[in-house]
Amino acid sequence: MAVIALQPMVMECTGWDAYRLLDSGAGRKYEAFGPHAFIRPEPQALWQPRLSEWPAAGEFVPGSDEDGGGRWQLETQLSEEGWELAWNEVKFTAQPTPFRHLQFFPDMAPVWDWMRCQLAGRDDAETMNMFGYTGLGTLALSEHGRVTHVDASKKSVAQARENATLSGMDDRPIRWMVDDAAKFAAREVRRERRYDGIILDPPKFGRGPKNETWRLEAGLPDLVGDCAKLLDDKSAFLFLTVYAVRMSSVALAGLLEEKLRHLPGVIEHGDLAVREEGEGARLLPTAIFARWRQDT
């Protein structure tokens, strides 16, 4: 039976060539995505900014609804095709989206590193990226074997495939699935499939390709339960991240403990956070996570 680690932890993104957190405060953050800087809302930036000015290519102005809405105010004419960035050997396109992000989540970089560490020395692993979005995690995992990429958005999967082409990874054994994650996982259980690792990055709310409704609190227990059935004592990891919810990582760890009773190992939990540049270098939390791994 997997054991929950006593102390929470922080998985820290310290910035990389494609992304830097320049400053934050007063409910906003100031970030560089390659050559362009942007300002986005950030409720957890409770402190005051360090810099007196934030020159930016654009700012996302949120709507009055806490759960969404808003628009970009762009000060710089950006290419309609976006611009190329890279994480290690993974190349991808960035551009502002109506959902306030820029086609990737930079705070996931330490997660990609961690997953690779769990699969070190392997090139035959079978892994799955659920809610895989534009595929950076999928392409990172593909170094170690076959990957199943699942996302309900046809547009996101198309962008993920374009990122694979941009990275020179068209020949990697990746199965691209436009599907409802919960239904897909349930089918994989019925097929008696198994995986060496699974990453889940579910939204608070979403819709499947056939207009299926996803609500995190209602759907997550069964989804994690099905994913747990796809793992065995030779599997390496399960990683779960959750954003923008009133929930503790302790709750996520408890869910993993319940669903992974059949497996040995360790369950760890805590926050994803991004480290600012410059003097003071504050940590800005972005998400909570829980992860299971073999106890090595």
Q: Is residue 85 part of a domain?
A: yes
The pTM of the full predicted model, rounded to 2 decimals, is: 0.94
How does the average pLDDT of the chain come out, rounded? 94
Say if 190 falls within a structural domain. yes
Domain of 98 in residue numbering reads as 3-13+80-293
In a domain, 151, yes or no: yes
d(CA 106, CA 16): 9
What total of structural domains would you count in the chain? Answer: 1
Q: What is the pLDDT of residue 214?
A: 77
- At CA 234, angle to CA 270 and CA 231, rounded to 5? 65
Query: Is 275 part of a structural domain of the chain?
Result: yes
Q: Has residue 67 got a pLDDT over 60?
A: no
In a domain, 157, yes or no: yes
* Residue 68: C-alpha distances to residues 31, 60, 99, 200, 274 (Å): 20, 12, 8, 22, 22
pLDDT band at 204, cuts 50/70/90?
confident
Judge whether residue 209 has pLDDT over 80: no
Q: If we measure between CA atoms, which residue out of 175, 167, 100, 97 comes closest to residue 136?
A: 167
Tokens 């547009």, residue? 155
pLDDT tens for 110-130 read 999 999 999 999 999 999 999
Is position 178 within any domain? Answer: yes
In whole angstroms, what is the distance from residue 100 CA to residue 68 CA?
9
The residue behind tokens 């991004």 is 274
Residue 219: inside a domain: yes
Q: What CATH code is carried by the domain that includes residue 229?
A: 3.40.50.150
pLDDT tens digits for range 239-294: 999 998 889 999 999 999 999 999 999 999 999 999 999 888 899 999 999 999 99
